[in-house]
Structure 1
Amino acid sequence: MLGYVTLGTSNLAAAINFYTALTAEMGWKKLMGTDRIVFFGSSMEQAALAICTPYDEQAPTAGNGVMVAFHGGSPEGVDALYSKAIELGATCDGEPGERVPGVFYGAYVRDAEGNKLCFCHFTL
């Protein structure tokens, strides 16, 4: 199941304004956010959209800040998906672990083409 899709931005405040208005048209709302990422959707149990400033602090591009995330179902499920991806030839882009204490557990890989994938579990 799809967890969320991330889009990069160089102006988070403007992107928040845009996506707040746009996603309201779909019945979505701002679900959570930090100083560099904000999630929009109907709930954290459904597919969501995230907007963020790229983690590497480089300019966002069509591929920088873009990531597909998949629900793992539990921290153990995240670990299993991460291990399977590595087994299948993906490269590590962030070992499994708690990213936002008490809220978010995730792991990151890149496939053979360099596409960034996340396996995640939310405890909200």
Structure 2
Amino acid sequence: MIGYVTLGVSDMEKAKQFYSDLLGDMGAKLLLDMGRIAFIGKDLSTPMLAVCTPFNGEPNNPGNGNMLALQPGSKEAVDSYYKKAIELGATCDGEPGQRIPNQFYGAYVRDPDGNKLAFFQFG
């Protein structure tokens, strides 16, 4: 159902590198680069992440309440991706931990442009 999610960024080269490095272990790579927008994912027929400079030329602004949630496959992987994001320049927006007992484990970061990301595992 989801084709791609777009995040506005201020520095395309930095954003492409950040997300390619962060999501590479999930099999994602830069698939299509069209200048002001680039698509990162496993292939063009599965859901992708797009980073772009805003079409209207105005500065990017992270949306209040907007978040991209990624499910890496285990609680240990949540911890690993959180740590990797921080090492790549993200900032903490909620350390890894159990959020809902026996149901939801998650960690939260802000990418270098302030976009909120979650890494999570149900169960």
Q: TM-score, normalization: structure 2?
A: 0.50
